[in-house]
Every structure is written in C-alpha cells, then in structure tokens.
Amino acid sequence: MKYKILSTSPTFGHYISEPLKYFKDNGCEVTLVPQGKKLSEEELVENMAELDAAIVGVEKITQRVIQGSKRLKVIAKHGAGVDNIDVKTATSQGVVVISAPGANSDAVADLTFGLFLSLARSISFADRAVKGGGWPRIVGIDLSGKTLGIIGLGQVGKKVAKRALGFDMRVLVYDVIKDEAFAQKWGINYRSLDEILVESDFLSVHVPLIDSTRNLIGKRELELMKNDAFLVNIARGGVVDEEALYHALKERKVRGAALDVFSSEPPAENPLLELDNVIATPHMGGYTTEALRETGMICARGIVDTLRGKRPEHIVNPEVLK
C-alpha cells in the first residue's frame, strides 16, 4: 500500500526534486496542487479526506479540515510558522504537526539586509526612475554607524544581527527570552521594546504570529519611532498593524517600510501599496534554492518517519505521541 500525500505549498516539489524522489523511494505517492491555485476550506476538506499526510503552505488548516480526514497522521508546514494550522485540533485527533524551523534562516536574513539596503539607498525607486527615462540625483544614507533594532532574536534574528555587525551597525534587541551568551559573544545589547523603538534607525521584526505578538507594532509603537527611521517586516503581516503603519508612512512619521508579508496575501487593494515610501515583496524571504531543498527534505523526512511510527524531528505537538 502506498501512502497518499498532498502538498498545497506553492513551492514544495516545483523547484527542487530531491524531496519528491525521497517520497517515491519510501513508498509515498505525492500530489501537488498547481501553483497559483489556493484551495478553499471546502476543497481542503474534500482533498484531504483520504490522505495519510499533508504538506501545507499558508492556507488555513482548520478544525473542519483536520476532522474531515479519516486517516490523516501528519501535517508538515513547508516553513517555520504554524499559526495557520489548528494545532490543538490536530493534537486531539492524534495528528502530528511538524515544521521546518531554521531551514531558511540564511535566506530570510539575506533578504532582510537586501531590504535595508534598498530602503537606505532608494534602490527600487532609482530603478523605476531610470527605466522610466529619468536620471535623478538620489541621496541615501549609510548603514555604517546606524542603530538596528531587532524584535525577536531567534534563528533569523541572530543571523540578521551578525550581518549587521559586518556593516558596523550598533545592534539592539528585544525578546521575551534572552540568550545572554549570544549577546555577550557578539556585543549585542538587550533593551525594552520602547527603548528599541526610540533609538533605532532601522527596525526589523522577526517574531512568530501568536496572540501576544498580533499588532505588536501599532499606533503607539510607531509614534515612538524616529521620523527618519525605516521598518522592515519579514515575519508575519499580523505582527504590524497595517492601518496604523499606513497612516504613519503617509504622514511621514516613519520614513519608509519594506514588507515581505501582509495580513492578507496577496495584498489586493492594500493601501500600503499606493505609497512611494513602501517596498513590497511577495513573501519570498525563504525562497532560495538552498532553503527550499532543506525545507522540503525536513518535511519529507518528518512525514516518512511519522508514517513509519518513528518520532519525527521538529515536532510541534510532541504531546500527541503520548
């Protein structure tokens, strides 16, 4: 008997073939949802009813979807954050949930710095101007000597911090869990959230979307920032209050922002896209060849291990095994 697996991720199996070969070699039959197609809850219920495992992207895996499957044993998030999966219901139904934390941390950190540079030197604006026949004189700012505030010093935050030190930036961090050894080794200073907001020239967000971080950066926090500061959000759209950010940017209370994530994706008719001091990218932080290979293989190995009765790596709900 072959195990049946469905992937709804827009990237799994479409760019890297190794995970598909791994599944085939281990007696698994994988179906890929076509790129660009987003399944509704009704379609997810229908498609997952007879599955042994699922690989998911950012679509909502609800209680109804999970309970609608007769033999589902494992859900693998093709990425790190599992805020779109009803983990509580999965656990109650005996379904293992796994993710791939850290697999794309270098890719995300690289894009974060690319966005810092794009904001500091108005690279995207300059590109559009020259292609439009212009030749403007654009004056930017140096990164060297500036203060970077990092909200969330997890695997991505730490790699962003290391890159910042290579640019001779001063690094301040806020996290509810402190890694004092890392901070001491790299000369990084912990501060309160308000202190970071007040002092930073660049502010970078790297926290998961949970109840305590939803709208973590709202109207009050944006008003604490410097008028010439830049904000980069490459974590989750819901961490930043988009309405408050829109007004702060429109009124030039914050100089500019670069957003790889939005509360609704794609961000159709989002007023932030109308602003000339916003850089928008399509949630591509983790999309490099290397990151997709590692993320895909973590999902594949975790699913096969679970189906064979082994404890998988990177299990989100280990209590389900009890």
**Bridge partners, 77 (sequence order):** 56
Q: Are 216 and 207 in contact (CB under 8 A)?
A: yes
The three-state (H, E, C) secondary structure of 262-283, written as one string: CCCCCCCCCHHHHCCCEEECCC
Catalytic residue among 29, 265, 274, 290: 265
Catalytic residue among 163, 206, 283, 301: 283
Q: Are 290 and 107 in contact (CB under 8 A)?
A: yes
78 carries an active-site annotation? no
* Longest Cα separation, the chain: 66
Q: Are 244 and 219 in contact (CB under 8 A)?
A: yes
236 carries an active-site annotation? yes
247 carries an active-site annotation? no
Q: Rounded to whole angstroms, how far apart are CA atoms 115 and 297?
A: 28
Nearest to 213 by CA among 263, 253, 258: 263
Neighbouring residues of 309: CB distance < 8 A, sequence distance ≥ 6 = none
Q: Rounded to whole angstroms, how far apart are CA atoms 318 and 322?
A: 8
Active site residues: 236, 265, 283
